[in-house]
Amino acid sequence: MKLIRIFLFLSCMAVLCGCKKSDKKDESRVPYLEIKGKYLYLDEIQSVVPKGCSRQDSLSIVNNYVRKWVTDALVYDHAERNISNQDEIEDLVEDYRKSLIIHQYQQNLIKEKLGDGPTDEQMLDFYNQNKDKFQLTNNIVKGIFIKVPLGAPKYANLQNWLRNFNAKSVETVEKYSIQNATNYQYFGDKWTLFNDVVKDIPIKIEDQANFISRNKYIEVSDSRYHYIIRILSCQLSGSIEPYEMAKDKIQTILMNKLKNDFIQKFEDKLYQDAVKGKKVTYYKNEK
C-alpha cells in the first residue's frame, strides 16, 4: 500500500513538475511549442502516436496530448504562484524519493541474493505441511474436449476412441481432430476448471460434483455440432488442491517470506554494524 501511495503521489507531482524540467531549451531537439519558457518537443509528440495509426486518429491523439500538456503547464504556473506551502511539498517529494530509492535498492539486492526464489523441494515440503490451507473451491478435471460438425466422417470411430480412451488413443484422436474438429483441446496433463471446459457447451448441470463423479464420457449436440468431453481425472470442490495447481501460490508465499526475512536481516546487520562501528552518535539532552 505504501508503494501505491508513493506512485500516486509522484504521478500527481509529475503533472505539476513535468513541465518545469523543460524550462531550459534543449538545443539538440526540435521544439513543437513554448509556453512561459517551457518547451514541448516534436519527438515527444511523435512518441505518443501508435504505429499504423490513421491520419485522422493521429491528429486527434496529438491534439488531445498537446491540449493536456498546455493545460498542465498553465495549471502548474498558476499553482506555483499561488501555493503557500512549497517547503512542505519539497519535504514530501524528498521523503517519497528516498522511499523509492530504498525500495529499488532492496529489489536489486533480492534479485541478486535470492535468484529464482524457493526450490521445488522447499515448495513441496511447504505443501505437504500445509495441505489444509489448499482446499479447492471449484471442481477441476483433466481430459479432452472436442467439437465436431454434425455429419463429420467416422464420427462413430471418434466416439469409440474416446469412450475407451488410453495412451495409444491420443495420437489417433489428435489426427482426427486436425482433419475434422472445429475445436480440440487436450488437457490430460493439466488440471483445468470444469466450468471453463463446459462454458461454451449447450448443457445444464444442476449438481456438478455428482455429475462429474458419475460421468467420464459426456456427449451433447445442438443443431450444428457434437460436443464431447472425456474426463480422465477429477478433483471435486472441498478436496485438497493438487500440488501442480497450488505451486504458483506456494512460490509467491515462500518468496514473500524469503524477501521479508532477507530485508529484515539486512537492515538489522546494517544497524548493528553502524552501532559497533560508532557511526551512530546519540546525544543525551539534559534537562
What CATH number is given to the structural domain containing 221? 3.10.50
Q: Tell me, what DSSP letter sits at residue 52?
A: T
pLDDT, residue 180, reads: 96
Same domain, 12 and 64: yes
Same domain, 191 and 254: no
pTM for the model: 0.61
Give the residue from 220, 235, 250 where a domain finishes: 235
Which residue type occupies 88? Answer: E
pLDDT attached to residue 275: 87
Q: Tell me: do 246 and 202 sit in the same domain.
A: no
Tell me the residue length of the chain: 287
Three cell numbers, residue 124: 513441496
**Considering just the CA atoms, what is the radius of gyration of the chain in Å?**
31
What CA–CA distance (Å, rounded) separates 78 from 97?
Answer: 25
Query: Within 13 Å and on the Cβ side, how many CA atoms surround 234?
Result: 22
Query: Can you tell me the distance from the alpha carbon of 107 to that of 101, in angstroms, rounded to the nearest whole number?
Result: 10
Q: What is the pLDDT of residue 184?
A: 96
Asked if the structure places residue 70 within a domain, the reply is yes
Q: Is residue 105 assigned to a domain?
A: no
Q: How does DSSP assign 227-274, residue by residue?
A: EEEEEEEEE-TTSBPPHHHHHHHHHHHHHHHHHHHHHHHHHHHHHHHH
In a domain, 164, yes or no: yes
Grid coordinates 500516486 are at which residue?
8
* pLDDT score for 279: 87
Q: How many CB atoms lie within 10 A of CB 39?
A: 19
Longest CA span, the chain: 99
CA separation for the pair 124, 118 (Å, rounded): 10
Sort residue 159 into left (φ over 0), alpha (ψ -120 to 50) or beta.
alpha
* 143 and 201 share one domain: yes
Domain that holds residue 22: 2-83
Q: Do 214 and 248 reside in the same domain of the chain?
A: no
Rounded Cα distance between 134 and 124, Å, is: 13
Q: Are residues 145 and 163 in the same domain?
A: yes
- The answer to whether residue 263 sits within a structural domain is yes
Predicted pLDDT of residue 71: 93
Per-residue confidence in pLDDT tens, the chain, 287 aa: 444 444 444 444 444 444 444 467 889 999 999 988 889 999 999 999 998 889 999 999 999 999 999 999 999 888 888 888 888 888 888 999 999 998 898 888 888 888 778 889 999 999 999 999 999 999 999 999 999 999 999 999 999 999 999 888 999 999 999 999 999 999 999 999 999 999 989 999 999 999 999 999 999 999 999 999 999 999 999 999 999 999 999 999 999 999 999 999 999 999 999 989 888 888 876 55
pLDDT at 107: 86
Total domains, the chain: 3
Nearby residues of 58 by Cβ (< 8 Å), 6 or more positions away: 49
Q: What are phi and psi of 83, to 5 degrees?
A: -85, 145
